[in-house]
Structure 1
Amino acid sequence: MNRRSFIQTASLAALAASLSPLRAQTPASAAAPRYRNLISPNRKLRIAGIGVGGKGSTDLLNCADEEIVALCDVDFKQGNPSFLRWPNLPRYRDYRQLFDEMQDDFDAITVSTTDHMHFPITMMALERGKHVFVQKPLSHTIGEARALKVAAAKAGVVTQMGNQGQAGEGARLVKEWIEAGVIGHVREVHAWDQRPVWSQGIPLPEPVKTIPSTMDWNLWLGVAPEREYSPLLAPFKWRGFWDYGCGALGDMGCHLLNAPFWALNLRGDVRLSATSVGNSEVSAPKSSKIVYEYPARGDLPPVKLLWFDGGNQPPVPKELGPNGKLPKGGVIYYGDKGVIMDGTNYGSSPRLIPEEKMKTFTDRPAKRLPRVPGGIMKDFIAACKGGPAPCSNIVDHAADLTEMVSLGNLVIRAGQPIDWDSTLGVCRSLPSANRFINKNYRVF
């Protein structure tokens, strides 16, 4: 991709932010849409991995029964486990070179890079007709999420975001129970996590002159601003800095908030407010509490969702008894007729509380939602071979979920409450906060 076309691609984020968002007309589990470039179920999917260290290495392991054809990582030390596992495959540092040289030799990519590079890599894949599995969060900004939603719909290829819980039993049970009225109308939801487990609320680190010989620092920075290397940024601690990551909420929100987002249709206009400790222009906060207030959505009544992180936790539900304690992360749904609690990070174990109610919960709603055999990656692969649309595809699910999560970071950075206009994609009550919807892109 030349310099001009890259700038045009990146600026799609600003354009798409002004577009009315695409809304799913059918559930993601409906019959397979007419995707392009599908392969025969009788052959293996040819996959190129981009970002193959850490989580990227496990993503490739989860599709190792297919044909891995190329590996790309800006840091060959980080990518070494994958390089050792597939020693004879082409290796790249620059994903653009991989696309140019192997365009006809792969069908799909996995994107498991830093958050700030999800958008340009995924956009290039969509433009070139490749199927895409991209780790959560889908994007670094709201503008990027909207741009990818538009581009994915236009490209007509298979997409999937790596929020594992959406393929699990727990998310389906929560949706089925709530829609069947097991706890009545849900009026309030509490979600929390112990993260960050890396430093946040700190200044940018002092640069270090010596860059590891295994790393291409320019490529690691990618579209982010020019800055000198520091081991306190790469390879792991980048999540706490706004130029590269999305903080604790961005890391875990697409997991913990997925089930409430899906079950309660948390799309559209919303009012947000937040308190935080340590937020700055460069760093996400040490801790935060965010309040989402949604108006009625069709037949669903208004609902308030509260997010807690950095050691903050919601009140312990009285249904847990006088000695009740909360786990390190989870979600609680408060309804007119009862309470559901899930004490896991991926929404895998919803239960009615108190426990006596769960024990007597024998007349359970029918399992009407299709289940996803094999998990999030197998779901993606099956769709590439003509199966149903993936459960967390960009158009129907992942872009809107990522926007919802990203709005929490936007209100933290704005420092004041905001009223989000979903149709226009702007903050109605605080125009100064709109600067966080999109970002500038360095040409590298």
Structure 2
Amino acid sequence: MNQPDKPTGNGTTRRQFIQTGALAATSFFIVPRHVLGGKGFIAPSDKLNIAGVGIAGKGFSDTNNAFNKGANNIVALCDVDWSRDQVKKNFEQHPNAKRYKDYREMFDKEAKNIDAVTVSTADHTHAVIAMAAMQRGKHVYVQKPLTHNIYEARMLTEAARKYKVVTQMGNQGSSNPQQKQMVEWFDKGLIGKVHTVHLWTNRPVWPQGIPVPQADASVPADLDWDVWIGPAQKVGYTPAYHPFKWRGWWNFGAGALGDIGCHIMDVPFRVLGLGYPTEVETSIGSVFLKDWTPEYIPEGCPPSSRVELKFPESAKNKQAVTMTWSDGGLRPFRPEFLPEGEPMPENGENGVLMIGDKGLMVCGMYGNDPKVYTKDGKKFEAAKIQTDGPALPENGHQVLWTEACKAGFNSKEHKGLTSSFDFAGPLTESVLMGNVAIRSYTLRNANANGRGFSYPGRKKLTWDGKNMKITNFDEANQFVSRKYREGWSLTA
């Protein structure tokens, strides 16, 4: 049942009532909810009115985890493509929710009834949707990566503080209690100061490093292609872009790094207390469409890449860190101190390896199954993750966000969120720093024989994180932000 934004007994609206906790300041007697509605009853004023933008795929689970079996209301659902099975299922499960294809129309008509918004669209529209919600005072949950580029991440981080809204990025592994175990291990000094971090993934698991597809298909009747394109540069429709395969094209996605980097890099970023990197260098896999001559496709992400980021010492880790990211199936070799017979995390497909002067720590993509191996032969293993309860990454990440929304911007619940934009913004910027290097790689100059490429006179890009600027290769700064197509903008 939808809860309209009607005035409460003290003159505030229901949404203001939830955000400020004004009920506690009124003079009338509060009857406990269990007296009114029995055990398990949730008062209507304790429910959030939630709108979902992008409601298939991760959007399906995001909206329904936030709904939390009726603990909150789903009042509006928005998706550009109504033909998808999960969109239809979401409509069926929430028959009273208003339905939209354009989030702008939804906000114009439903803003007064909405408290919070989940954003689970393609990467290139995260920022404009989240900003529009925050400007209207709505709390936001945004899927990873937080944004398509570094500038957008900085804008959303600053806007969240300006509009005083509760925020969370959808890297659900950050709510995995096993990550807390890893922080505790490190803080106890089990592996000492960390100097080297390896991150790796089997992504991409979609076509990538391929020629630009021919956009000659007709737009499906149930798809609003213009809204799907949003602020990106206008191209024709092709099923090679939508659904899902958009990840491999810079116009819409952020490649393997954007897809999974906010999960995997989350672990060392949190454990070591890292900030902005200062240097980045990369190499990428080549595509050969004819003998001997590599094809570099500037519109598309490469089939594989390796990125090296340099981080200065942090307050937690009194040691500079070299972090190496590998995708496309590349992975680090087995490190010293990992005993024979001990497998690499997740069978080598996705993982984190942190090497310190006293030992090493390994885990899977979401911080799963962490272990410590010390130089003196000791092994520490975390307890298995619980199978129920609010802290599970399967639904707890969204549930904890909704509870923080009810408590308000300055609440301990909001401060306790594991991936509010104060954390998720700098993390996303560090992840996307790798994409600046990867995209700059295609700006290279060839030798006379067409082979052997390198940055024009440089081996690394140096980064001024505070000012969001590459300081030694100005041409690379075009990838720090993007040019929006006419009619679209991002202003706080």
**TM-score (ref. length: structure 2):** 0.77
- Given candidates 71, 78, 90, the residue that maps to 2:77 is 71
- Confirm or deny that 1:101 pairs with 2:87: no
CA contact (8 A) 2:313 2:319 kept: yes
Which residue of structure 2 aligns with residue 382 of structure 1?
A: 403
Partner of 2:309: 292
AA aligned to 1:69 is V
- Greater shift, 316-325 or 96-105, is seen at 316-325
Task: For 1:103 and 1:322, locate their aligned partners in 2 and report how far apart those are by CA, in whole Å.
Answer: 58
Deviation at 1:317, TM superposition (A): 2.1
Q: Structure 1 residue 266: deviation in Å?
A: 2.0
Partner of residue 273 from structure 1, selected from 278, 281, 287: 281
Larger gyration radius, structure 1 or structure 2:
2
1:37 alignment counterpart: 19
Aligned-partner Cα distance in 1 for 2:401–2:478: 34
Structure 2 vs 1, CA of residues 280 and 37 (structure 1 numbering), >3 Å: closer, same or farther?
A: farther
* Contact preservation (8 Å) 1:158, 1:393: no
- Of the three residues 463, 472, 475, the one matched with 1:429 is 472
Secondary structure at the aligned position of 2:310 is classed as strand
Decide which of 395, 404, 407 is 2:433's aligned counterpart: 407
State the aligned residue count: 402
State whether residues 192 and 307 of structure 1, in contact with CA within 8 Å, keep that contact through their aligned partners in structure 2.
yes
What's the Cα RMSD here? 2.4
Using the alignment, how far apart are the partners of 2:190 and 2:196 within structure 1?
Answer: 15
Query: For the residues of structure 2 that align with 1:295 and 1:354, how far apart are their CA atoms?
Result: 24
Q: Which of 195, 202, 205 is equivalent to 2:210?
A: 202
Look up the equivalent residue of 2:331 and give its one-letter code.
Answer: Q
The letter of the residue matching 1:52 is I
The residue number in structure 1 matching 2:60 is 57
Deviations 1:332-365 (A, max 9, x none): 11111111111x2111221113796226x79x9x
Question: Which amino acid in the other structure matches residue 81 of structure 2?
Answer: D
8 Å Cα contact 2:358-2:374 kept in structure 1: no
Residue aligning to 2:27: none
Alignment of 1:244-393 (within 5 A): 244-278=252-286, 280-298=297-315, 300-322=318-340, 325-326=343-344, 327=347, 328-342=349-363, 344-353=364-373, 357-358=378-379, 375-386=396-407, 387=411, 388-389=413-414, 390-393=416-419
> Counterpart amino acid of 1:306?
T
Q: What SS does the aligned partner of 1:272 have?
A: strand
> Relative contact order (C-alpha < 8 Å, sep 6+): which is higher?
1
The one-letter code matched in structure 2 to 1:297 is S
**Following TM superposition, by how much is the alpha carbon of 1:154 offset from its aligned partner in structure 2, in angstroms?**
0.3
Percent identical pairs in the alignment equals: 39
Please report how far the alpha carbon of residue 324 of structure 1 lies from its aligned counterpart in structure 2 after TM superposition.
5.4
Equivalent pair of 1:165/1:347 in contact (CA under 8 Å)? yes
2:163 counterpart (155, 162, 165): 155
Moved more, 291-300 or 405-414: 291-300
Q: Which amino acid aligns with 2:440?
A: A
Equivalent position of 2:187 in the other structure: 179
CA distance in 2, matches of 1:179, 1:232: 46
Unaligned runs of 5+ in 2: 1-16, 24-41, 287-295, 384-389, 442-454
Please name the residue that 2:449 is paired with: none
1:103 is paired with a residue whose SS is helix
Q: Does the 8 Å contact 1:132/1:158 carry over to 2?
A: yes
Instruction: Give the distance between the partners of 2:139 and 2:399, measured in 1 at CA.
Output: 14
2:232 to 206, 224, 235: 224
Tell which deviates more after alignment, 176-185 or 82-91: 82-91
Q: What secondary structure, in the 3-state scheme, does the structure 2 residue paired with 1:63 have?
A: helix
Q: Is the 2:75–2:96 Cα contact (8 Å) retained in structure 1?
A: no
Q: 1:225 to 1:92 in 2, by over 3 A?
A: same
- Aligned equivalent of 1:438, options 481, 484, 492: 481
Q: Which moved more, 1:265-274 or 1:322-331?
A: 322-331
Give the corresponding residue for 2:34: none
> Which residue identity is paired with 1:331?
V
Partners of 1:149 and 1:88 in 2: CA distance: 33
> Which runs of structure 2 are paired with 1:82-101 in the superposition (5 Å)?
82-101=90-109
CA distance in 1, matches of 2:187, 2:279: 24
Partners of 1:183 and 1:337 within 8 A in 2: yes
Aligned to 2:37: none
CA distance in 1, matches of 2:473, 2:480: 12
Structure 1 letter corresponding to 2:396: G
Deviations 1:377-436 (A, max 9, x none): 111011111151152444420100100100011111112421111122101111111010
Whole-angstrom distance in 2 between the partners of 1:205 and 1:324: 43
Is the CA contact 1:420–1:426 (under 8 Å) kept in the aligned structure 2? Answer: yes
- Further displaced range: 389-398 or 231-240: 389-398
Residue 372 of structure 1, CA deviation: 5.0
String of CA shifts for 1:316-339, please: whole Å, max 9, x gaps.
Answer: 124344555532111011111111
Secondary structure of the corresponding residue to residue 440 of structure 1:
coil
